[in-house]
């Protein structure tokens, strides 16, 4: 920006009332001509804009409007967020804000004029096509600070030597992508997709530590979280990646509707359909105000609870429950707990923090149970497409989106976990055919993180024991 200093930008953000604004130049009178037609061609329908007028003596005048400019003749256009501003050329760069007084006439449309603020107008910049003198200064550019629609003192008509008039589009930089990603993995390319497929498909518990295949048949990943956070949809997305088309093995619901009543252990098959993968994804009923899975949680973690157990049954899972496993083995226990949160349900501005307070307290109670056992926990942050429109369009933006990074940090804080435990996710909730490569990469990457967490748990707790078994049986 030639005429706005970083301090000016900061002041403008404060005037707008939101930080993290991004100013992108749409039009410069000096570069594009003092021409109303060109101004409209470049600035119409571009959303909120900032008009900055600088004179040859270093004064800066301007106006902000949250409404798009248009090529029309409408003398009064409503905008309650508009304001004018002024800064003199002194060394102390204090900018003055003049708030709108008559919102109904905050700006005016006139396709034969440059930007117009106020109906009289308060700030009208130029009309038609202004020619320049031989020394380069434009003729007949006048500023009228009148104070009819804005709260400001009435200045005399100013006939200025205008240096430039620049119009910036003002967007929310929270949605801007960082030039450098905030995390390096996964890289969204073919090599990464192949590696992830290979790692996940060929995984077996403690494979990298010399424990033979089948010693522990599989690890169990347990998904827990509020209703509608996307637990079942994630399981479907993982299955879809191996099948190559969208599947619905876990019944997912609509908004806020509980579709999962039973405990389900999904044992997925490899992409060639020939064998089971060495992990199971365990789906639970969603938490909601007044309903927790607390009564059954110990039994689930210990591996007593059978597949298809109904969470809505009143007595907790116990000896009398059909299929109850009295003496669970290591392969029956839970090896990693994944808390599933919904990025749509997060808004610090209005005080919504992923879950209701009741569900949050339920999660804290559940956490105590597996903390005692040292079972690792991760957070799957679903619906990042809601949090970031750029990620909605392009899954790979997840690693470069500033807003997703913030969501991840807040999710970690909310559940009292390190940021590294948060796995941002965009599920296949709409595509009817195959998932895209990007979605497959993000899905497999998240599954691999879960497998690594489960594997580390086995390693630090059972490796010696399992190796011992192997040595004994192989002697």
**Residues in touch with ligand GDP (CB under 6 A):** 225, 227-233, 252-254, 259-260, 286, 340, 382-383, 385-386, 426-427, 429
CA atoms of 418 and 378, how far apart (whole Å)? 9
Q: Please, what's the b/e burial string for 165-185 (b: 16 or more CB within 10 A of its CB; e: otherwise)?
A: bbbbbbbebbbbbeeebbeee
* 446 interacts with Mg ion by CB under 5 A: no
- Taking the CA atoms of residue 257, residue 261, residue 263 and residue 267 in that order, the dihedral angle to the nearest 10 degrees is -60
Q: Using an 8 Å Cβ cutoff, are 21 and 70 in contact? A: no
162 vs 287, beta carbon nearer Mg ion: 287
Helix, strand, coil shares, percent, the chain, to 5: 35, 25, 40
> Environment class of residue 420 by beta-carbon count within 10 Å: exposed (0-12), middle (13-18) or buried (19+)?
exposed
Record the tokens describing residue 145, joined without a space.
Answer: 């600070």
Stretch of 202-210, 230-238, 291-299, 316-324 contacting Mg ion, by CB under 5 A: 230-238
54 vs 435, beta carbon nearer ligand GDP: 435
* 232 interacts with Mg ion by CB under 5 A: yes
**Tokens 């991760």, residue?**
378
Counted residue by residue, the chain has a size of 475
To Mg ion, the closest distance from the beta carbon of 53 in angstroms equals: 57
HSE (side-chain half, CA atoms, 13 Å) at 75: 3
To ligand GDP, the closest distance from the beta carbon of 233 in angstroms equals: 3
DSSP 126: -
Parallel, antiparallel, or unpaired: how do β-strands 422-424 and 377-382 relate?
parallel
* 427 interacts with Mg ion by CB under 5 A: no
Q: Which does 228 bind (CB under 5 to 8 A by kind): Mg ion, ligand GDP, none?
A: ligand GDP
* 260 interacts with Mg ion by CB under 5 A: yes
To ligand GDP, the closest distance from the beta carbon of 295 in angstroms equals: 19
Distances from the Cα of 347 to the Cαs of 212, 355, 389, in angstroms? 47, 11, 15
Q: Beta partners for 210?
A: none
54 vs 232, beta carbon nearer Mg ion: 232
To ligand GDP, the closest distance from the beta carbon of 182 in angstroms equals: 19
59 vs 426, beta carbon nearer ligand GDP: 426
29 vs 229, beta carbon nearer ligand GDP: 229
Q: Which does 26 bind (CB under 5 to 8 A by kind): Mg ion, ligand GDP, none?
A: none
To Mg ion, the closest distance from the beta carbon of 418 in angstroms equals: 27
117 vs 339, beta carbon nearer ligand GDP: 339
To ligand GDP, the closest distance from the beta carbon of 229 in angstroms equals: 4
Stretch of 110-118, 126-134, 206-214, 231-239 contacting Mg ion, by CB under 5 A: 231-239
Parallel, antiparallel, or unpaired: how do β-strands 276-283 and 219-224 relate?
parallel
* 391 interacts with Mg ion by CB under 5 A: no
HSE (side-chain half, CA atoms, 13 Å) at 213: 6
To ligand GDP, the closest distance from the beta carbon of 28 in angstroms equals: 40
- # chain residues binding Mg ion, by CB under 5 A: 3
Q: Which does 254 bind (CB under 5 to 8 A by kind): ligand GDP, Mg ion, none?
A: ligand GDP
Q: Which does 429 bind (CB under 5 to 8 A by kind): Mg ion, ligand GDP, none?
A: ligand GDP
Q: Which does 155 bind (CB under 5 to 8 A by kind): ligand GDP, Mg ion, none?
A: none
To ligand GDP, the closest distance from the beta carbon of 410 in angstroms equals: 17
Distances from the Cα of 474 to the Cαs of 212, 344, 401, 462, 471, in angstroms? 11, 53, 52, 18, 5
Contacting positions for Mg ion (CB under 5 A): 231-232, 260
């Amino acid at each position: 920006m030639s005429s706005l200093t970083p301090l000016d930008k900061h002041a403008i953000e404060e005037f707008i009332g939101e930080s993290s604004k991004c100013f992108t130049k749409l039009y410069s009178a000096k570069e594009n001509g003092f021409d109303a037609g060109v101004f409209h061609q470049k600035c119409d329908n571009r959303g909120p804009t900032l008009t900055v007028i600088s004179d040859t003596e270093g004064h800066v005048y301007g106006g902000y409007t949250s409404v798009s400019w248009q090529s029309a003749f409408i003398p009064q256009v409503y905008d309650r967020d508009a304001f004018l501003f002024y800064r003199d050329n002194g060394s102390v760069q204090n900018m003055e804000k003049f708030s709108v007084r008559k919102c109904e006439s905050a700006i005016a449309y006139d396709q034969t004029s440059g930007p117009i603020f106020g109906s009289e107008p308060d700030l009208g910049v130029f009309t038609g096509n202004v020619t320049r003198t031989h020394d380069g200064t434009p003729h007949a550019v006048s500023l009228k600070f009148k104070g009819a629609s804005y709260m400001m003192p009435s200045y005399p008509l100013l006939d200025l030597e205008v240096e430039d008039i620049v119009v910036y589009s003002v967007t929310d930089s929270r949605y801007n992508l960082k030039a450098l990603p905030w995390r390096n993995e996964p890289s969204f390319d073919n090599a990464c997709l192949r590696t992830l497929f290979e790692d996940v498909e060929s995984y077996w518990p403690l494979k990298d530590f010399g424990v033979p295949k089948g010693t522990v048949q599989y690890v169990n990943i347990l998904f827990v979280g509020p209703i509608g956070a996307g637990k079942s949809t994630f399981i479907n997305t993982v299955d879809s990646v191996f099948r190559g088309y969208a599947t619905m093995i876990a019944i997912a619901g609509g908004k806020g509707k509980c579709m999962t009543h039973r405990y389900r252990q999904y044992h997925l098959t490899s992409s060639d359909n020939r064998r089971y993968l060495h992990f199971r994804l365990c789906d639970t009923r969603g938490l909601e105000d007044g309903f927790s899975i607390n009564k059954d949680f110990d039994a689930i973690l210990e591996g007593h609870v059978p597949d298809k157990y109904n969470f809505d049954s009143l007595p907790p899972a116990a000896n009398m429950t059909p299929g109850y496993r009295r003496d669970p083995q290591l392969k029956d226990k839970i090896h990693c707990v994944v808390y599933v949160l919904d990025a749509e349900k997060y808004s610090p501005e209005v005080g919504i923090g992923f879950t209701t307070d009741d569900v949050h307290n339920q999660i804290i109670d559940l956490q105590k149970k597996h903390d005692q056992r040292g079972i690792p926990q991760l957070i799957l942050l679903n619906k990042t497409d809601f949090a970031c429109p750029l990620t909605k369009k392009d899954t790979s933006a997840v690693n470069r989106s500033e807003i997703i990074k913030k969501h991840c940090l807040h999710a970690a804080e909310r559940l009292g976990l390190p940021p590294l435990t948060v796995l941002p996710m965009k599920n296949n909730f709409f595509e009817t055919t195959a998932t895209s490569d990007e979605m497959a990469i993000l899905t497999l990457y998240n599954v691999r993180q879960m497998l690594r967490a489960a594997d580390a748990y086995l390693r630090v707790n059972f490796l010696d024991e399992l190796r011992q078994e192997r040595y004994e049986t192989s002697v």
